[in-house]
Amino acid sequence: MAKIVLDGVDKVYPGGVQAVDNLDLEIADNEFMVLVGPSGCGKSTALRMIAGLEEISGGELFIGDQVVNDRPPKDRDIAMVFQNYALYPHMTVEQNLAFGLKLRKVPKQEIQRRVQEAAAMLGIESYLKRKPAALSGGQRQRVAMGRAIVREPQAFLMDEPLSNLDAKLRVQMRASLNQLHERLGVTTVYVTHDQVEAMTLGDRVAVLRDGRLQQVDTPKNLFDHP
Ligand code: ADP
Ligand code: ADP
């Protein structure tokens, strides 16, 4: 588990759009931090910089005690969950969960253990042998989360992971995410434009606007003093 620190982080895209402007944010060990704000405020860009999928234009990014500005994603020990699941269609659920671990040469028995444990936590044991096409949207999203969990990373990054689900499933998945976080206690950065999601999931919520940090506080304080 690791803290994540953004110290004066900027992102200017080629063409001159300043998507993130001097962002200071400290995400504690084991904290569930939600980035919220309207479309275009820079949430995804901030998350993608933490993931290493987008270059940082200025400032410093720490994961643990290390500056990781120039480190590729594979050297950051984080796992990302996307809204479109990004599952391998030709593999079963079990193979999808195991694939990243095989690439990292994790021993077979250890892979088995992690896959079984993640599947049990997410309630997906009964369809380990199915392919993604035979799953509902909610089931696919659970598999996508399982793939992140089996990595046992220092941090989870999630970009609107529930936005393709219907309202009822979203409520269910919010509860599952809360349970998972309680159980695993992994530092999490979660992007959403949905204020209810932000308030129900976050230990703290960072409100972004036009690439800048407007407020960061607990849901209770934000709700009491909006
Ligand atoms: P959000 O996730 O809050 O919707 P984004 O981080 O996607 O916001 O975008 C922030 C700003 O940066 C927007 O003005 C968007 O159009 C711009 N932007 C995002 N990605 C790119 C890109 N690859 N090239 C140029 N501009 C981009
Ligand atoms: P989001 O869901 O974060 O708002 P979008 O659906 O707007 O993102 O964008 C999807 C992809 O397009 C992202 O990879 C983003 O970086 C890229 N993108 C967004 N805005 C621009 C832009 N103005 N120019 C180029 N690429 C962009």
**Euclidean distance between CA atoms 69 and 49, whole angstroms:** 8
Instruction: Report the percentage of the chain scoring pLDDT > 70.
Output: 99
**Euclidean distance between CA atoms 7 and 217, whole angstroms:** 18
Does the Cβ of 39 fall within 6 Å of ligand 1?
yes
Does the Cβ of 15 fall within 6 Å of ligand 2?
no
Does the Cβ of 43 fall within 6 Å of ligand 1?
yes
Structure confidence at residue 221 (pLDDT): 94
Structure confidence at residue 206 (pLDDT): 98
What's phi and psi for 124, nearest 5 deg? -120, 15
Beta-bridged to residue 191, according to DSSP, are 35, 159
What's phi and psi for 43, nearest 5 deg? -60, -55
**Whether pLDDT at 225 is above 70:** no
Q: Specify the pTM.
A: 0.89
Band (226; pLDDT cuts 50, 70, 90): low
Does the Cβ of 109 fall within 6 Å of ligand 2?
no
ipTM of the shown complex: 0.75
Among all ligands shown, which has an atom nearest to the Cα of 15?
Answer: 1
Does the Cβ of 20 fall within 6 Å of ligand 1?
no
Which range has highest mean pLDDT (10-24, 82-96, 160-174)?
10-24
Please state at what angle helix 137-150 crosses helix 93-103, rounded to 10 degrees: 20
> How confident is the model over 101-141, as pLDDT tens digits?
999 999 999 999 999 999 999 999 999 999 999 999 889 99
Pocket test residue of 44, 159, 194 for ligand 2, highest count of atoms within 8 A of CB: 44
Cα(81) to ligand 1 centroid in Å equals 19
Residue type, 32: F
**Euclidean distance between CA atoms 153 and 16, whole angstroms:** 34
